[in-house]
Structure 1
Amino acid sequence: MSSPTDPTAPATGVPTPVDPTVAVAALAGHRRPYLIGVRHHSPALAVALPRLLAGYRPEVLLLELPPELGQWLPWLADPATTAPVALAGVLGDGGGPAFYPFADFSPELVAVRWAARNGVPVVPCDLPLTDPAWREREPGAAPTPGRSFADALRAAGSGRADEDLWDRSVEARAPG
């Protein structure tokens, strides 16, 4: 992994490391969001997202999607593609299926289409389908110690393997 470099440093051909304290202070000083958290299939966010994107004019969009499926993003953005549509892959050798559904009310699809119309690259930012982390635990099993806080919250919500906690806490309360 390469270390961040200072974009204001003279172009010497040698990257100049950035002091992490300076980088964090610079990010904390901004008053505009860098990330817009997206809930899959949120009609409320799908309506608001084009205005947010147009207002903030991002240079790049990160999409929760394995990198192997990134080659299909131009097809999702194509005006001739009619939703609902899904991308699918296989989790490693002999693993189970992975489905990524998109509908007209999916903020992800709205963002991909907006990015295509505005010349903004979309970069998949999830684990590769071949990563063993996809198969580390059975659905509905207790989180592995040291796993993410989100895993622990999901498991504590209702015991369901899906995102019930988000639905009850955020989605059901969203306007519209």
Structure 2
Amino acid sequence: MGQAGRPAVLLVEPPHHIHDALRRGADLVISTEAPVSTLAWLPLAAPPLRAYFAPTHAWASTDRAGVTPAELVTQKLLLPPGDFMTRKLLDHAVIRAGLGYASVEECPVSRVIQAQAAASFGVGVLTEHPRFGVRTLPVMDGDEPLVLRLHAAWDPAHHAAPVIHALVRRMATHANAAAE
């Protein structure tokens, strides 16, 4: 149950408005945006951006450790829309490398992107667990994988702040164990 016996509600906000949700009564927010200093927060997870491709793709038969933005831009890419943080991270990596995309098809649904990649319609870039038999490789930014950093934040004066803190710690432990 939420505050005052109300059922818990999940709200989806644009990343730049997420902390405003706390001021409007949310108990906890999860965001890709860095928390403001007046909030209590913990890092929650840092899933890597991964390239998703069919088992018949040339990358599937190699022992490579990852793919670079330079390799990705040569592919027909299946990407989330430009306002998704996964896409923004990839766009920034491509720009930093001084590159541009050759072919992009956008879709807001990650399962559809994975299904299209599995059917050899292109190479997807996401952070979710693989489905439909796709193969994946991390997208590399130099020697390190590109990661999407997620933070959980809450008001330190919230009446349940210690409980929220404990919940976030458990969530982070679970997220890190699932990533291994």
TM-score category, normalised to shorter length: under 0.3
TM-score by length of 2: 0.21
Bigger share in helix: 1
